[in-house]
Amino acid sequence: MIIVIQCRDQVGLVASISSILARAGLNIVSMREHVEKEDNRFFSRIEAEGLALHEGWQQELRAALPPEASLQINPLPEKRLAVLVTREYHCLGDILLRHQFGTLGARLACVLGNHPDLGDLCRRFEVPFLHVPHEGRPREAFESALLDGLAPYQPDFLVLAKFMRILSPAFVAQYRHRIINIHHSFLPAFAGAQPYRQAFARGVKLIGATSHFVTDDLDEGPIIAQQIIPVTHRHRVEDMVRAGKEVETAVLARAMQLVFEDRVLVHRNKTIVFE
């Protein structure tokens, strides 16, 4: 059982939470907590085992927390996932493989692409693919078509697996802290378009990738995971692009794992990650 808590901090919180679980006969396998001092916020993720001795412990737990607390017990045990793509296969391919072999941590419900290129790959894994073209349409119409495409699947999370369109605040608002993006730079360096071209021009010696929740501000959402690889003067832009794909795939996979295991809590524009 996984319990995720976020609330105002107060003395005795760990004591009362752990006492309630102990009295219910639940064995704490892992208890992680963090206090953000400036905002006086308490965050916790608990893994517990065993059968509860009595039913009332969940009410007890809620009563022990401040009224504004966010308490989740076994949040979304089966998470439904939709993936948005454009043309690049590497992140989607990795997701399809993990899904096929039961190691994704979520059920891949569908894939939407603004280009048709990756439909064939999805069909190989019998995953529904919907081509939602963006060309010749205003963004509102495009996003409306995306939402229509998503509707039958009711996804809990969207993953932008190299989806090269910017989503409007109105769209993002429907999936608050539930859209995971992979950006092909070490944010906040090289936000925006063509980060590898920017990295090449600047002559950096490391390039990276960043997975983050999408918010209204492009490339400004809470960061979940980041990773880098070294580059040298021998790397042309296309070499960086190629090398970068490896780290993009790895970082997105890591971020999904963390999110789907309920290890990522969001506060303001930052994440608490209980690895």
Alpha-carbon distances, residue 148 vs 21, 47, 70, 194 (angstroms): 43, 37, 30, 30
Give yes or no for residue 273 binding a copy of itself (CB under 8 A): yes
Q: Are 51 and 25 within 8 A, CB to CB?
A: yes
Smallest distance, a copy of itself to C-beta of residue 12, A: 4
Smallest distance, a copy of itself to C-beta of residue 143, A: 27
Interface with a copy of itself by CB under 8 A: which range of 92-100, 104-112, 129-137, 161-169? 92-100
Give yes or no for residue 28 binding a copy of itself (CB under 8 A): yes
The string of DSSP codes covering 184-213 is: SSSTTTT-SS-HHHHHHHHT-SEEEEEEEE
Give yes or no for residue 208 binding a copy of itself (CB under 8 A): yes
In angstroms, how far is the first alpha carbon of the chain from the final one?
17
Buried b (16+ CB within 10 A) or exposed e, 27-38: eeeebebbeeee
Give yes or no for residue 61 binding a copy of itself (CB under 8 A): no
Smallest distance, a copy of itself to C-beta of residue 233, A: 4
Q: Is 219 a catalytic residue?
A: yes
3-state SS assignment for residue 42: strand
Give yes or no for residue 70 binding a copy of itself (CB under 8 A): no
d(CA 81, CA 86): 17
Smallest distance, a copy of itself to C-beta of residue 142, A: 26
Residue carrying structure tokens 């580059």? 231
Residues contributing to the site for a copy of itself (CB under 8 A): 11-12, 14-16, 18-19, 21-22, 25, 27-31, 33-37, 89-90, 93-94, 97, 100-101, 103, 121, 124-125, 186-190, 202-206, 208, 222-228, 232-234, 236, 242, 246, 250, 253-254, 269-273, 275
Which active-site residues does the annotation give? 219
